[in-house]
Amino acid sequence: MYLLLLPRILALIMFIGISLPLSSWAFDLQIVDQKGEPVKNAVVSVPDGNIEAVNAVPAIMDQVKRQFKPLVLAVEEGREVVFPNSDNIRHHVYSFSEPKKFQIKLYKDQPKKPIKFEQGGVVVLGCNIHDSMIGYIFVSPWPSFQVSPESGRVSFEGSPKDVAIWHPWVTGLKKPKLISFSELKKNNFKIQLLLTPPKQIKKLKSKFNKYYDK
Amino acid sequence: MNLSLRNKILRLFLGLMILSSVATISSVLLATDASVERQAQDKLDIGKRVFEQLMQNRSQQLFGSAEVLTADFGFKGAVAQGDKGTILSVLENHGARIDADLMMLASLDGELIARTDVSTASANVFPFAHLLSQAEADGGLMTVAMLDGKAYQLVLLQVTAPRPIAWAAMGFLLDQPLANQLKSLTNLEVSYSGIGQGNKGIVISTMPEETHDRILNEKMQSNDQVNINDKPNLKHMRFGQDEYLSLYVPLIETSKYKVNAFLSTSLSEARNNFSPLKIQILLVSFISLIASVIGAFLISSNVTRPIKNLVSAAQRISSGDYSVDLPLVNNIKDEVNVLASSFNVMQKGIAEREEKILHQAYHDTLTGLPNRMLATQEMKKLIAMCRDSESCFALMSVNINRFKQINDTFGYQTGDGLLKAFSLRLAEVNKGENFCARLGADEFFVLIQSEDHINFSPMVEDFVQCLSNSYFIDDFEVTVSLRVGVAIFPVHGDQTGQLLRRTEIALNDAKQKKREIQFYEQGSDAKHLNRIRLINELKQAISSDHLVMYYQPKVDLHLRKVTQAEALIRWFHKELGFVSPEEFIGLAEQAGLMPALTRWVLKTVIEELSSWLKDGVDIAMAVNLSAYDLAHDDLPDYIDELLVEYDVPATHLILEVTESAVIEEPEQAMNVLHRFKKSGIKLAIDDYGTGYSSLGQLKSMPVDELKIDKSFVLKLEQDTDDQVIVRSTIEMGHNIGLTIVAEGVETKAAWELLEEYGCDKLQGYFISKPQSPSDFLQWYSNYSVDE
C-alpha cells in the first residue's frame, strides 16, 4: 500500500519542487537544437536512486493518423503500457529492441492486454504495415525523468551529480548521455542537441535513370 | 593538224565525260557513305533507348525484389535477432525468385552478415561498404559495380525495424547471355567492359573476340574528347575489313572501377547493302563513257573529214593541180559545203588567171607573138634538139629601121598597127615552120632551122624580101626597111646567151653599116665585151679615185693674163693606162652613167675652185656638159646647191655645151640653159663650126662665149680657108655680142694671127697642155703672157 503511494508522494514532492521555484534545490533546464529552437521529446533523467513504486496505471502509446502518439513515451521500469488504436485501420505494432521484443499482430481499438516493460533502455516501436510509423518508449531505471514539452523546458529539484539526456533524433545515441551538473551550470542550464530528423523515404525509382541517362 | 584537231575534240569530250562520271560516282559514294553513317547513328540512337529501357527494367526488377525482401517481417525479425541461418535462407529464397546473381546482407557499419555466393575468395567481406554512405544519403542505391572481376547491376536497400538495422544488396551479373539477349532486342552489337582495381579488365561482348582489347582500350580513353559530329560518345572502330560505329554508354565510374557499355553497328555491313547500287552506277558510268568515246570519235571524224579534204585540196592547189573539184556532201548548205564550193570556185578562178598570166608572161600583148622569155626557152630547146641531131639553125634579130620616125610621123596608133601587120606577115612567111617572137619595141626574133648553114644566106634574104614589102595601115602605105642581125648555131655560138648577144652585135653592125642583113663576124664579140668591161670599171672609177680632173688655161688677150681654165676629165686605168675621154664618155652615155659622172665632175671642180679662190687664184672654171645633161631638169638645182655649199660665185663657172647637144632636144636644152643663165652662170658653145647650127640659132641661145673648134685653128697659119672662116666667125660673133675663144693654139704664129683677128681668148698647147691641179697652180704662178 505504501509502496503504491510512493510515486504519488514523489509526484507530490515534484509538484512542490516545481511550484516552489525559489527553493534552493530546484533547477530548470532548457533544451535546444542546433538552431537554438526548443526541443521537445527529449528525455531528461537524473541517473540516481532506485524505483521504489511503479505506477499501476498503464501508460498509453496511442496510434493516431498512422503515427505513434506521443512520439516518445518515458516510463519507469516495470510499468505497463497499452497501445490503443485510434485509427480506423489496423496496425501491427512490434519491437525488435533488446529491452523488450514484442509484437501485437493486426488489431483494432484496444489490444487485449498491456505490455509490461521491465528492462531499462530504448524500445523502438514500428508498425509492420506502416513503415513510416516509428515510436519510442524510454524505459527508465531511475525514478526521476521527464520528457520535454513544446517549450523544451524541464525542471528538477536538488543538485544531482549528473543528468542524463536522450533524444531519438540524435544520431547514434542508443543510451542516455550523461552531463555533469557543473557543466550544466557552466552552460547556464542549457543543453544543445544535434538533431537529425529521420528522412522521408523518397521514391528511389525516380533517381534510377541517372546511371544511364547521360 | 587534222589529227590534232580530232584529238582535241576527243580529248575535250572525254575530259567532260570523265569529269561528270567522276562527279556522279563520287557524289553517289559520298551520299551513300553519309546515308550509311546517318542510318547507323539513328540505329544506335534507337538501340540505345531500347538498351537503357532494358537495363532499367532489370534494375526495377532488382529493386522490387529488394523492397519485398527488406519489407519482410520475418526477415526483419531474423535480422534483428541476428539469426544468420534464417537470414541466409531468406536471401537465397528471394534471390531464387528473380534469379539474382548476388544477394548479401551487411550491418549498418558495412560488416558482412550474410551472402549467398560463398565460393569466392572474398566471401567473408561485404564488398560494397564504400557505397553505403551514398546509399544512406539517398535512402538506397541502384548502380553498377565490379566485384571479383565481374560487373553487376546492383541495388542496395536498408532493412528497417523500423529504424535501419542492416543493408541488403541484390545484383544481376552483366554476362554473355544478357549481351546476347540485348543484341537480339536492339539489333546492335552489345559490349560491356569493366576495369576494377587490380584486374586487367573484362569484356562481355557479342562482338568477335579480337575486338575486345580495343573495346577495353576505347573505354580507357573515354575521358578524351573524341568527337564525331559533336557527338562525343560516337566512335569509329575498325577491325581489319570491318568498320563499326560505336556508341559509348558510360555506366559507372568510381575511383575503384569503371563499367561501360558499347553499342556497335557494322558500317561495313550497311555499306554492303549499297554495293549493288554502287556497282550499277559504276556500270552505267562506264557504259556511258564508252558510248561517249564512240560518239566523240564519230563527231570529231565528221567534223574533221571535210577539213582534211579541204587541207589536201589546198595542198593540191598550191602545187598547181586545179583539176579535181571538192565533193559536196549531201547538198546541204552548211558551212563545210559552202567552204568547199568556195574552194572549187577559187580553184577555177586561179586556174583561169594562171593560164592568162602564163600566156602574158610568155607572149607579147600587142601582137600576140611569144616574148623574149618564151623565145629564150624555145631557143634552149632548139639548141638541145640541134645538138642531138647535129643540125643547125639561124637566129635572126629583125629591126624595123627608123621605126621611131614612123611613129613620130604617123602616130603611135599607126606604129602599133604596123607592128601588128608586121607580126602577121612574119607568121605568114614562116607558115608555122619557124619560131617568131617580139623581143622589144620594133625588135623581132626568128629562128630558122636548116640542115646546112650555107643555105641560110638565101633563106634570110627571101625572108627579108617578103617582110620588106609595103604595108597598108589605116589607108596609109608604109614602106619599111629592115636591119637584120644573124648568128648561126653552132658556128657563131652554142649557148643561148652567146647567140643572142652575137645576133645583137650583128644587128648593131648592120645599123652602123646601114646594111639590111649582117651575119655575125668573128671577133666583134671581143670588142663588145671590152666595152662592157670598161663600163663596169668606169662605174667603179667614179666611186673610187681613178678619175681625176686636169685643167687647161685660157689666156685673155685683152687683160693679157690667164682668166679661165677648162676642166677636162682624165681616166688613168690601172691596166689600160690613159683612156681617152671620147671613148669612155661615149660608154658612159650608153650605160646611163652620165648623171653620176657629170655630178662627180661638177663637185670636184667646184670644190677645187673654192680652194683656189681662197688661195687668191682668181680664175673662172669651164666644165663641159653633154646632151644628156641638158635633157634633164635637175642639174641647175644641183649646181646652185654646190655653189652655195662651196661659196663660189656663179660668175666663176662656165658651162660649155656643143651645138649638137642643144639640137637633139632644143626646147628642153634651151629651158635648162636659161635656168643656168638666170643663176648667173656663163655659157659657152663648144666645138663651134663642126655642127649644123647657124649664127641665127646661136643668137637665140643665152650664151656668152663661142669656142671655135680646134680643127680650124690647128693649121691656121698654113690654111687660108681656115683663116677666112676663123676671121669671119670672130667678126660675126663679136657682132652678136659673144666672146670668142680659140682652141688648139699650138704655135706662136697662130697666136699672132688670132690676136690680129681680134680673138678674145686663146687655149692650146702653145700656152699649156691640160695639167693636174698642183702642176697647174705651179705653172700659173710662173706664167706671164708677154714672155
pLDDT in tens, B74-113: 888 888 888 888 888 888 888 888 888 889 999 888 888 8
Q: Is the pLDDT of residue B520 over 90?
A: no
Does residue B165 lie in a domain region?
yes
Mapped onto helix, strand or coil, the DSSP state of residue B232 is coil
Locus of grid cell 576495369: B195
Does residue B312 lie in a domain region?
no
Neighbours of B697 (CB within 10 A): 15
The amino acid present at B79, given as its one-letter code, is V
Q: Does A128 touch chain B (CB under 8 A)?
A: yes
Cβ contact A131–B81 (<8 Å): no
Which residues of B fall within a CB distance of 8 Å from A134?
162-163
Where along chain A do its domains lie?
A: 2-193
pLDDT at B566: 93
Please indicate whether residue B124 or residue B438 has the higher confidence score (pLDDT): B438
Cβ contact A96–B250 (<8 Å): no
| Domain co-membership, B510 together with B614 | no
Nearest by CB: B252 against A208, A209, A211: A211
pLDDT interval class at B481 (50, 70, 90): confident
| Domain co-membership, B491 together with B559 | no
DSSP-assigned states of every residue in B699-715: HHS---EEEE-GGGTTT
pLDDT in tens, B665-700: 778 888 888 999 999 999 998 888 877 666 677 778
**Phi and psi for B683 in degrees, rounded to 5?**
-120, 145
- Rounded-to-integer distance, Cα A120 and Cα B99, Å: 44
Q: Does B133 touch chain A (CB under 8 A)?
A: no
| Domain co-membership, B488 together with B564 | no
pLDDT at B141: 85
Strands B547-556 and B761-762: antiparallel
- Per the structure block, which three cell numbers stand in for B228? 564525331
pLDDT at B240: 75
Is there a cis peptide before residue B770, judged by omega within 30 degrees of 0?
A: no
Cβ contact A126–B143 (<8 Å): no
Q: Does B156 touch chain A (CB under 8 A)?
A: no
- Rounded-to-integer distance, Cα B54 and Cα B45, Å: 14
How many independent structural domains does chain B possess? 3
Does residue B307 lie in a domain region?
no
- Per the structure block, which three cell numbers stand in for A25? 534545490
The arithmetic mean of pLDDT across residues B217-224, rounded, is 52
- Rounded-to-integer distance, Cα B525 and Cα B511, Å: 16
Nearest by CB: A208 against B59, B139, B251: B59
pLDDT at B84: 85
| Domain co-membership, B616 together with B504 | no
Strands B189-196 and B257-266: antiparallel
pLDDT at B136: 81
pLDDT in tens, A90-112: 888 999 888 898 888 877 877 77
Q: How many angstroms separate the CA of residue A120 from the nearest CA in chain B?
A: 19
- At a CB cut-off of 8 Å and minimum separation 6, what does B729 contact? B688, B689, B706, B708, B712, B740
Q: Does A209 touch chain B (CB under 8 A)?
A: yes
| Domain co-membership, B637 together with B726 | yes
Q: CA-CA distances (angstroms) from residue B527 to B137, B411, B473, B497?
A: 149, 37, 40, 17
Does residue B103 lie in a domain region?
yes
Q: Does B514 touch chain A (CB under 8 A)?
A: no
CATH number, residue B198:
3.30.450.20
- Per the structure block, which three cell numbers stand in for B614? 681662197
pLDDT interval class at B764 (50, 70, 90): very high
Asked whether B670 and B689 are in contact (CB, 8 A), the reply is: no
Q: Locate the chain A residue with the closest alpha carbon to B139.
A: A201
Q: How far is CA B376 from the centre of its chain?
A: 40
- Rounded-to-integer distance, Cα B758 and Cα B763, Å: 14
Asked whether A166 and A173 are in contact (CB, 8 A), the reply is: yes
A49-58, A68-77, B133-142: least confident range: B133-142
- Rounded-to-integer distance, Cα A184 and Cα A191, Å: 7
Q: Give A 77-116 residues with CB within 8 A of chain B.
A: 92, 94, 96, 101
| Domain co-membership, B254 together with B126 | yes
Does residue B386 lie in a domain region?
yes
Q: Does B707 touch chain A (CB under 8 A)?
A: no
pLDDT at A138: 93
The arithmetic mean of pLDDT across residues B290-301, rounded, is 82
Please indicate whether residue B270 or residue B645 has the higher confidence score (pLDDT): B645
Q: How many angstroms separate the CA of residue B143 from the nearest CA in chain A?
A: 7
Does residue B492 lie in a domain region?
yes
Which residues of B fall within a CB distance of 8 Å from A94?
73, 161
Neighbours of A39 (CB within 10 A): 23
Q: Is the pLDDT of residue B2 over 80?
A: no
Asked whether A98 and A137 are in contact (CB, 8 A), the reply is: no
Does residue B291 lie in a domain region?
no
Cβ contact A131–B162 (<8 Å): yes
Helix (H) or strand (E) holding B13: helix B2-71
- Per the structure block, which three cell numbers stand in for B461? 634574104
- At a CB cut-off of 8 Å and minimum separation 6, what does B309 contact? B326, B327, B340
Strands B141-147 and B102-107: unpaired
Q: Does B60 touch chain A (CB under 8 A)?
A: yes
The arithmetic mean of pLDDT across residues B749-759, rounded, is 91
Strands B577-579 and B476-478: unpaired
- Per the structure block, which three cell numbers stand in for B494? 652554142
| Domain co-membership, B493 together with B563 | no
The arithmetic mean of pLDDT across residues B725-750, rounded, is 91
- At a CB cut-off of 8 Å and minimum separation 6, what does B405 contact? none
pLDDT in tens, B171-206: 988 889 989 988 998 888 898 888 877 677 888 888
Which residues of A fall within a CB distance of 8 Å from B157?
204
pLDDT interval class at A116 (50, 70, 90): very high
Neighbours of B225 (CB within 10 A): 6
Q: What is the ipTM of this complex?
A: 0.75
B210-224, B480-494, B606-620: which is most confident: B606-620
Neighbours of B358 (CB within 10 A): 10
Q: Locate the chain A residue with the closest alpha carbon to B52.
A: A212
Helix (H) or strand (E) holding B316: helix B267-318
Burial of B221 (0-12, 13-18, 19+ CB in 10 A): exposed
- Per the structure block, which three cell numbers stand in for B480? 619599111
Asked whether B251 and A211 are in contact (CB, 8 A), the reply is: yes
| Domain co-membership, B42 together with B164 | yes
Relative orientation angle of helices B594-614 and B524-543, to the nearest 10 degrees: 40
pLDDT in tens, B521-564: 877 777 777 777 888 888 888 877 778 899 999 999 999 999 99
Neighbours of B272 (CB within 10 A): 12
CA angle B369, B375, B381 (to 5 degrees): 130
Q: How far is CA B20 from the centre of its chain?
A: 38
Strands (E), A97-170: 102-107, 115-117, 121-127, 134-140, 144-147, 153-157, 162-166
What's the CATH fold of domain A2-193? Immunoglobulin-like (2.60.40)
Please indicate whether residue B186 or residue A8 has the higher confidence score (pLDDT): B186
- Rounded-to-integer distance, Cα A126 and Cα B79, Å: 15
Q: CA-CA distances (angstroms) from residue B389 to B376, B382, B386, B393?
A: 20, 10, 5, 11
- Rounded-to-integer distance, Cα A119 and Cα A136, Å: 14
Q: What is the 3-state secondary structure (H, E, C) of B571-627?
A: EEECCCEEECHHHHHHHHHHHCCHHHHHHHHHHHHHHHHHHHHHCCCCCEEEEECCH
CATH number, residue B446:
3.30.70.270
Q: Does B76 touch chain A (CB under 8 A)?
A: yes
B261-275, B344-358, B456-470, B741-755: which is most confident: B741-755
The arithmetic mean of pLDDT across residues B27-54, rounded, is 86
- Rounded-to-integer distance, Cα B47 and Cα B186, Å: 5
Domain that holds residue B501: 365-522
Q: How far is CA B190 from the centre of its chain?
A: 77
pLDDT in tens, B555-612: 999 999 999 999 999 888 877 778 888 778 877 877 778 888 888 999 999 999 999 9
- Per the structure block, which three cell numbers stand in for B393? 639553125
Mapped onto helix, strand or coil, the DSSP state of residue B508 is helix
Hey, which residues does B686 pair with through a beta bridge?
A: B658
The total number of residues written for chain A in this structure: 214
Mean pLDDT (chain B) is: 84
The arithmetic mean of pLDDT across residues B220-249, rounded, is 67
Locus of grid cell 539526456: A165
Which residues of B fall within a CB distance of 8 Å from A205?
60, 63
- Per the structure block, which three cell numbers stand in for B357? 598570166
CA angle A177, A182, A188 (to 5 degrees): 90
| Domain co-membership, B620 together with B663 | yes
Nearest by CB: B63 against A198, A205, A214: A205
Report which DSSP code applies to B199: S
- Rounded-to-integer distance, Cα B479 and Cα B237, Å: 124
pLDDT interval class at A145 (50, 70, 90): very high
pLDDT at B224: 43
Is there a cis peptide before residue B162, judged by omega within 30 degrees of 0?
A: yes
pLDDT at B139: 76
Asked whether B253 and B223 are in contact (CB, 8 A), the reply is: no
Q: Does B55 touch chain A (CB under 8 A)?
A: yes
pLDDT interval class at A139 (50, 70, 90): very high
Is there a cis peptide before residue B490, judged by omega within 30 degrees of 0?
A: yes
- Rounded-to-integer distance, Cα B403 and Cα B385, Å: 35
Does residue B160 lie in a domain region?
yes
Q: Is the pLDDT of residue B745 over 80?
A: yes
- Rounded-to-integer distance, Cα A8 and Cα A45, Å: 18
Closest by CA to B576, choosing from B587, B591, B590, B568, is B587
- Per the structure block, which three cell numbers stand in for B725? 672662116
Which residues of B fall within a CB distance of 8 Å from A101?
80-81
Q: What is the 3-state secondary structure (H, E, C) of A133-150?
A: CEEEEEEECCCEEEECCC
Strands A134-140 and A26-33: unpaired
pLDDT interval class at A206 (50, 70, 90): very low
**Phi and psi for B215 in degrees, rounded to 5?**
-60, -40
| Domain co-membership, B461 together with B559 | no
Q: Is the pLDDT of residue A213 over 70?
A: no
What percentage of chain B exceeds 90 in pLDDT? 14
- Rounded-to-integer distance, Cα B63 and Cα B65, Å: 5
Closest by CA to A120, choosing from A176, A161, A160, is A176
- Rounded-to-integer distance, Cα B452 and Cα B435, Å: 18
**Is the full-model pTM beyond 0.90?**
no
- At a CB cut-off of 8 Å and minimum separation 6, what does B327 contact? B309, B340
Q: How far is CA A60 from the centre of its chain?
A: 12
- Per the structure block, which three cell numbers stand in for B158? 536498408
Task: Count interface pairs A-B at CB distance under 8 A.
Answer: 63
